[in-house]
Amino acid sequence: MIRVGINGYGTIGKRVADAVAAQPDMRLVGVTKTRPNYAAEAALRRGYDMYAAIADRADEFDAAGIDVAGSLPDLLDAVDVVVDCCPSGVGARNRSTYETHGVPAVFQGGEDADVADASFAARTSFEAVRDAAADAVRVVSCNTTGLARLLAPLEEAYGIEKARVTLIRRGGDPGETDRGPINDVVPDPATIPSHHGPDVNTVLPDVDVDTAALKAPVTAMHTHSVNVTLRATPTADAVRDLFAGERRLFVIPEGAGIDGAGKLKEYAMDRGRPRGDLWENCLWAESVEVSGRDLYLFENVHQEADVVPENVDAIRAMVTDVPAAESVERTNEALGVGVESLLSDDGQTCDPIAADD
């Protein structure tokens, strides 16, 4: 059993904790929090051992009636690997602590790429990360993860001459009351390309991709408007079939009545997904259009969820010999990731529901 610690129990940390706890070959040793708020209380109710992220705040937990099992160093001494889910930038400051304790660490995509020895996306760089025998690996961000999953099969099947993506990013997560914008769509950054294209190249080096990013006053999901100039001229149906074969892509059937992030989340909750999480890229079947060698489509990425299975696979890539495909399959099965499990029992992902609704 791989003993896993989670440092930071926010949006990503709480989800990675649940995902680790669900794996047959992993044991969640504990999680850290900086303060004893509602999320700490909920973690305890899930039976997770709580460690104080900042040692001299342990008495705050005592005062709140929350037993702590120790502080971060105690957790590090008890695990085989730590997943850093701290706010962006804090992870970089934590790296030396992890090194001092000799614990391999998985970082999140909010950190700069140089926080770690290698960047990770399960679809494109599992083997490379294992071969690098890195002690520190960064799972790329939600947007980059989504793009890697989308572009990799296109590159393999048709070759990519150039990808151009506009990212309409959510302003903040649902609980982040201090984020914006509130009534604007803001180029962010206003310079083009954004960092996302280069970040894709950390896990998919040979694809030429430019990205332009904005922020919108929404909280549920990011939206990508994608153009890929291919080196071949497949039909739109062939591209849909290609995507349908990728378990971490969900091709939303035309006629399902899902017109945006709100209904996507509603569907996830209808299906009993924990926290309404969508681990898959969600792309609209009817948006897939091929004009000459130009492919177009819209997809949404759930910023709270899509990197979660990636973190699980990153752990296996670092500290086990489980082959990539087996790890991904194990993760998918344990969590219930997959297009098939979303909309069809027989593996047919298009048209389980009338297209002429």
Asked if 56 is part of the footprint of its own copies (rule: CB under 8 A), the reply reads: no
Q: 338 and 328 in contact (C-beta within 8 Å)? A: no
Give the three-state DSSP class for 12: helix
Distance between CA atoms of 206 and 202, rounded to whole angstroms?
10
Residue 352 binds to its own copies (criterion: CB under 8 A): yes
**HSE toward the beta carbon, residue 255, CA cutoff 13 A:** 10
x/- contact string, 100-119, with its own copies (CB under 8 A)? Answer: --------------------
Among 86, 200, 256, 334, binds its own copies (CB under 8 A): 256
Q: Residue 77's Cα: distance from chain center in Å? A: 27
Question: Looking at 122-130, 273-281, 291-299, 309-317, which segment touches its own copies (CB under 8 A)?
Answer: 273-281
- Nearest CA-CA partner of 26 in 42, 2, 5: 2
Binding-site size for its own copies (CB under 8 A) equals: 48
Q: State the catalytic residues.
A: 142
Using alpha carbons, list the distances in angstroms from residue 155 to 1, 230, 264, 314: 36, 8, 27, 23
Q: Residue 38 or residue 321: which is nearer to its own copies going by CB?
A: 38
CA 189 to chain centre: 22
Q: What is the Cα 55 distance to its own chain's centre?
A: 29
The CB-of-61 to its own copies minimum distance in angstroms stands at 8
If binding is defined by CB under 8 A, does position 37 make contact with its own copies? yes
Among 41, 135, 188, 286, binds its own copies (CB under 8 A): 41
Q: Does 3 participate in binding its own copies (rule CB under 8 A)?
A: no
Distances (CA, A) of 320 to 12, 129, 304: 23, 12, 26
CB-based contacts of 237: which residues, under 8 Å, 6+ apart? none
From 56, 114, 321, 356, residue interacting with its own copies (rule: CB under 8 A): 356
Contact at 8 Å (CB) between 329 and 25?
Answer: no
Query: Which span sits near its own copies by CB under 8 A: 126-134, 158-166, 203-211, 272-280?
Result: 272-280
Nearer to its own copies by Cβ, of 39 and 113: the residue is 39
Asked if 286 touches its own copies (CB under 8 A), the answer is no
Q: Is 96 or 177 the residue whose CB approaches its own copies more closely?
A: 177
Give the interface with its own copies as residue ranges (CB under 8 A).
14, 35-43, 45, 60, 63-66, 173-177, 183, 219-220, 255-260, 262-263, 265-267, 269-272, 274-276, 343, 352-354, 356-357
